[in-house]
């Protein structure tokens, strides 16, 4: 009797191996840009697919960071447009917004950025931080640190698991 998980991994590795080498990291980077997959998920997918762990981690982290940078820059422009417009009545804060504000006041930008990926995609956290008025440069610095940290942790974990399993 065969192991279905092993068959799935072998099939996935075969699919990745049939792609040109230059496209493999590009696909991992594109996966890293997807919320909930993030750099760490993309790196894991790449490693399981047979891509070298360092290449998979770099590609996943770069894809995730580029997407976060776009979100931060767009959110900063939207915030500027909304705050300079004036005249709009103040809306009551939603429960979700109040929850984010409470976490932000408790942990600050570093804490929300580094711990945020445990609950939300980095894109969502980055947009929320920018919308509350945190400077885009600060958001990008701490989101970059979080992406590198979590991608490294998951890459080391998956590499270790695959090493032990084989």
- For 101, the domain range is 4-165
- Between the alpha carbon of residue 23 and those of residues 26, 27, 43, 59, the distances in Å are 5, 6, 14, 11
Taking the model in full, what pTM does it have?
A: 0.84
- pLDDT grade for 107, boundaries at 50, 70 and 90: confident
pLDDT of residue 155: 97
Residue 107 phi, psi (nearest 5) = -110, -20
Portion of the chain with pLDDT greater than 70, in percent: 92
| Average pLDDT rounded to a whole number, residues 62-68 | 98
CA dist., res. 50 & res. 4, Å (int): 18
For the chain, the domain total comes to: 1
């Amino acid at each position: 009797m065969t192991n279905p998980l092993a068959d799935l991994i072998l099939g996935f590795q075969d699919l990745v191996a049939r792609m040109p080498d230059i496209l493999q990291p590009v696909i991992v980077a594109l996966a890293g840009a997807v919320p909930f997959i993030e750099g760490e998920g993309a790196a894991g997918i790449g490693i399981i697919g047979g891509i070298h762990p360092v290449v998979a981690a770099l590609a996943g982290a770069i894809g995730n960071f580029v997407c976060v940078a776009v979100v931060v820059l767009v959110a900063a422009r939207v915030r500027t447009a909304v705050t300079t417009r004036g005249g709009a009545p103040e809306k009551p804060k939603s429960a979700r917004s109040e929850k984010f504000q409470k976490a932000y006041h408790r942990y600050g930008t570093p804490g929300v950025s580094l711990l945020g990926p445990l609950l939300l995609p980095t894109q969502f956290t980055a947009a929320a931080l920018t919308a509350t008025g945190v400077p885009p440069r600060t958001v990008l610095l701490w989101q970059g640190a979080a992406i590198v940290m979590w991608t490294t942790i998951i890459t080391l974990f998956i590499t270790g698991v695959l090493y032990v399993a084989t």
